[in-house]
Amino acid sequence: MSNTSDDEFHAFMTGRWPSLLRTAYLLTGSHHDAEDLAQNALARAYVKWDRVRHSDDMAAYVRQIMVHVHADRFRRRAVREWFTPRLPETPVADGTADVDRRSALMDALGRLAARQRAAVVLCYFEDMTHAQVAAALGTRTSTVRSQITRGLAKLREDGVLTALAERPAAPPAGRRRPVPQRGTIR
């Protein structure tokens, strides 16, 4: 690639990295897997950069690559990962309702089927239209609407999310909010 193309890719990558990492985290549920997924998507985008930069929406093109890379990870995996409601280590609570809500949401998203999770994440966290989600997932708009409807129904049935929705969002008076650690996704 020429220096101009390299500069364009570098500018795109640095500008879109937080958004790509956030989407990857929502798809994978793990900071480490999210970084790997975002890096793999950008590596594939770099190889196809001439095609990417001439597309109507470069960010959507790279998100679509990321969704496909994420789907490929599950197809190729010999040993399947199983999501469990309990971690092997005892978590240390930081005392903020926001962290509890985010954790509960990630757990609830983890219990959704992969296609439902991808459709819900792209529609509600990336603010994509149903048509854009359908294009990213390589399916019909009616299938996307069906996946979103089923995914949202499962999320509504989740008792943890209902309990969290009833709790106040603000921390108790007199307690300071912790400073976010470097490398965390907000």
**Which residue type sits at 177?**
R
User: Do the domain assignments include residue 28?
Assistant: yes
Which pLDDT value is given to residue 102?
81
| Structure-token pair, residue 3 | 């220096």
User: Do the domain assignments include residue 120?
Assistant: yes
CATH code for position 10: 1.10.1740
Domain closes at, from 17, 43, 75: 75
| Structure-token pair, residue 88 | 């092997």
DSSP code for 82: -
Which pLDDT value is given to residue 30?
87
Which pLDDT value is given to residue 176?
46
User: Do the domain assignments include residue 84?
Assistant: no
The Cα–Cα gap between 101 and 105 comes to: 6
CATH code for position 145: 1.10.10.10
171, 95 contact by CB (below 8 A)? yes
Full domain range(s) for residue 144: 97-166
Report if pTM > 0.85: no
Total domains, the chain: 2
- Over 90: is that where the pLDDT of 181 sits? no
Distances (CA, A) of 132 to 19, 20, 69, 146: 17, 16, 17, 15
The mean pLDDT of 2-16, rounded to a whole number, is 87
Cα 68 → chain centroid: 13
Which pLDDT value is given to residue 6?
86
Do 67 and 8 share a structural domain? Answer: yes
User: Do the domain assignments include residue 60?
Assistant: yes
- Over 60: is that where the pLDDT of 186 sits? no
120-162 pLDDT per residue, tens: 999 988 889 999 999 999 999 999 999 999 998 888 888 766 7
The mean pLDDT of 164-168, rounded to a whole number, is 66
Between 65 and 166, residue with greater pLDDT: 65
Do 103 and 67 share a structural domain? Answer: no
Which pLDDT value is given to residue 106?
87
14-55 pLDDT per residue, tens: 998 999 999 999 888 889 999 999 999 999 999 988 888 888
Which pLDDT value is given to residue 160?
63
Do 71 and 8 share a structural domain? Answer: yes
68-120 pLDDT per residue, tens: 888 887 666 555 666 777 766 766 555 666 777 788 888 888 899 999 999 99
User: Do the domain assignments include residue 13?
Assistant: yes
